[in-house]
Amino acid sequence: MELTGKTAIVTGSGRGIGLGIALAMGREGANVVINDRYLDDARKAAERINAGGGKAIGLAADVTNFDEIEAMVAETLRRFGTVDILVNNAGIESTPMLLKDVPERQWDRVLGVNLKGTFLCCKAVIPVMMRQNKGRIININSLAGRRMTFFGSADYTASKHGQVGLTLHLAWELADSNITVNAICPGATLTPLAEEGTTVEYREMVTKRLIPLGRWCTTDDVAGAAIYFASDRADMVTGQLLDVDGGVMTGYGEDLRAVIRQRMEQVQQAPAGKQ
């Protein structure tokens, strides 16, 4: 097991990609701190790791609140003694609309969680990692940080590009403390939320037009990349963006603006919870 004896905090890991990463790190021997805004979700996820013979705790914290993050880190240190790995997975999508229609409160919320949240979590764990002269920071980004999003709005694209810049800067800034900082950029990923929020027909359209390998990513696909960055195999890897996308970045084959704007209109008209 590649992560035996190491302690990982995975934010936003009560479900979806974060849960997949947390479960994989538990299987690889790490002590895992499951973070979620909802304590029940965090505890249920931790129970899954513990039931499989791993060690995990579930802690609630809002990544936009530094006091809550500091409390989470303090409890991690109390329980496990260190923080070796931080996975900044917590993030939110934006309601898809043109920039002219984006409310200021949506912009602030998306940038607050996706970019400021990464900054605050890094700020809380970096002193610990610097004292031990080693650490791994893994930011779960998106193809929106490489080009743009087809599924959200400009606020989401801006937040993910900002996280890429933070990743590169921290990789340089922390190198002399033996702390690596990398980002994973998943393509369309089949999470429960994605299944609920899209139709089969829509997913098939995206696959046919954009994904050369012919399927959406799974959470296990993304988790595999996270395990690599967290492992000793990646000692000399920092400041890198790893696309886990089935080949999407080989090039968009079509002008999909009409399709995406139609999707935006459908979302605006859908009842709450059916987007």
Q: What is the spatial distance between Cα 200 and Cα 202, in angstroms, rounded to a whole number?
A: 5
Q: What distance lies between CA 45 and its chain's CA centroid?
A: 16
Count CB neighbours of 1 within 10 A. 12
Residue type, 52: G
Q: Pick the closest to residue 9 from 84, 70, 60, 111 (CA basis).
A: 84
Residue type, 169: H
* Residues whose CB falls within 8 Å of the CB of residue 157, separated by 6 or more in sequence, listed in order: 144, 145, 148, 149
Cβ atoms of 11 and 88 within 8 Å: the answer is yes
Task: Give start and end residues of each alpha helix (H) in the chain.
Answer: 16-27, 39-51, 66-80, 104-111, 117-132, 154-173, 192-197, 200-210, 219-230, 257-269
Angle 121-122-128 from CA coordinates, rounded to 5°: 105
**Hey, which residues are catalytic here?**
156
Q: What is the spatial distance between Cα 82 and Cα 211, in angstroms, rounded to a whole number?
A: 40
Distance, first Cα to last Cα, the chain: 40
Q: In the structure encoding, which two tokens stand for residue 109, read together?
A: 């919320």
